[in-house]
């Protein structure tokens, strides 16, 4: 290799380069220069006092980040905490129960007083069975949860939106209004062009049964045309039951 990109090699072969880098050929100008690089830069070492001070400070614990493992310990602790919370949420969602005190903590609890925003008939359970054109919020899971995973008690006006399912121990309360936060959910408003059809009216003589509302095998009424007209709504068992719709015959 005599030429490289137009640069003469000045007689330095590859082997010369290797030997130069190995510290030989000190007789060559380049070798002398490379050897000079290994000499002292000064007779004193700047920064020694600062380095020793840092070392003493670290030994005394004055450098908080110097402690090995502190940061990783915090990360591990945060990870464990997050895992516990996550597993708790998953377990609650899987079991379908959220303790009431926990519900109170997270702000989802039973309301026995009429909500302020319950005036709209589209989101309020019919206080009087048989009121036409009323839709209960429990009828639509998407109404109680932004994620659409939440279920609600049929006719109970309760739903925490975090996977709570209907509980048979809470009977349906036909006169109980919906939770205001559920009723006012911006993601689920009554479709202005979707008036209540006769099939969505609460049955005048029937009350929604919680077990029907919670039955996951309950299929939507095929004659229910609402899901096809509203893109965010899906047919769900709780909708039919919560709205007082006659439940489908159960196989049992």
List residues binding other proteins (CB under 8 A): 4, 7-12, 14, 16-17, 20-21, 26, 28-30, 32-48, 50-52, 54-56, 58-59, 63, 65-66, 68
| Residue given tokens 């998953």 in the structure block | 90
Residues 208 and 137: their CA atoms lie apart, in Å, by 13
Nearer to other proteins among residue 76 and residue 90 (C-beta) = 76
Q: How far is the CB of 75 from other proteins (least distance, A)?
A: 15
C-alpha 109/C-alpha 115 separation (Å) is 13
Shortest CB 77 distance to other proteins, Å: 20
For 26-40, letters b (16+ CB in 10 Å) and e give eebeebeebeeeeee
d(CA 101, CA 43): 73
Query: What is the crossing angle of helices 14-21 and 29-37, to 10°?
Result: 30
**Least Å distance between CB 60 and other proteins?**
10
Residue number with CB closer to other proteins (39 or 222): 39
Whichever of 39 and 186 has its CB closer to other proteins, that residue is 39
Nearer to other proteins, 26 or 248 (CB): 26
CB of 63 to other proteins, least distance (A): 6
Q: How far is the CB of 47 from other proteins (least distance, A)?
A: 5
- At 8, is the secondary structure helix, strand, or coil? strand
Nearer to other proteins, 39 or 107 (CB): 39
Question: Which neighbouring-strand residues pair with 131?
Answer: none
């Amino acid at each position: 290799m005599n030429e490289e990109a137009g640069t003469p090699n000045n007689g330095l072969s590859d082997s010369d380069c290797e030997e130069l880098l190995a510290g030989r050929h000190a007789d060559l100008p380049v070798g002398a220069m490379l050897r000079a690089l290994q000499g002292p830069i000064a007779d004193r070492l700047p920064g020694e006092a600062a380095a020793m001070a840092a070392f003493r400070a670290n030994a005394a614990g004055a450098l908080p980040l110097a402690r090995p493992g502190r940061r990783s310990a915090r990360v591990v602790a945060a990870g464990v905490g997050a895992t516990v919370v996550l597993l708790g949420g998953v377990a609650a969602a899987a079991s379908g129960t959220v303790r009431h005190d926990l519900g109170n903590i997270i702000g989802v609890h039973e309301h026995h007083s009429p909500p302020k925003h319950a005036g709209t008939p589209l989101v309020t359970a019919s206080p009087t069975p048989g009121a036409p054109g009323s839709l209960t919020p429990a009828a639509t899971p998407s109404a109680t949860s932004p994620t659409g995973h939440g279920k609600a008690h049929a006719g109970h006006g309760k739903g925490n939106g975090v996977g709570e399912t209907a509980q048979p121990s809470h009977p349906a309360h036909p006169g109980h209004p919906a939770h205001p936060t559920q009723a006012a959910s911006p993601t689920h408003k009554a479709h202005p062009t979707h008036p209540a059809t006769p099939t969505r009216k609460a049955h005048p003589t029937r009350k929604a049964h919680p077990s029907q509302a919670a039955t996951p095998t309950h299929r939507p009424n095929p004659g229910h045309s609402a899901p096809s007209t509203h893109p965010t709504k899906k047919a769900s068992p709780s909708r039919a039951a919560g709205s007082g719709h006659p439940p489908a015959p159960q196989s049992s």
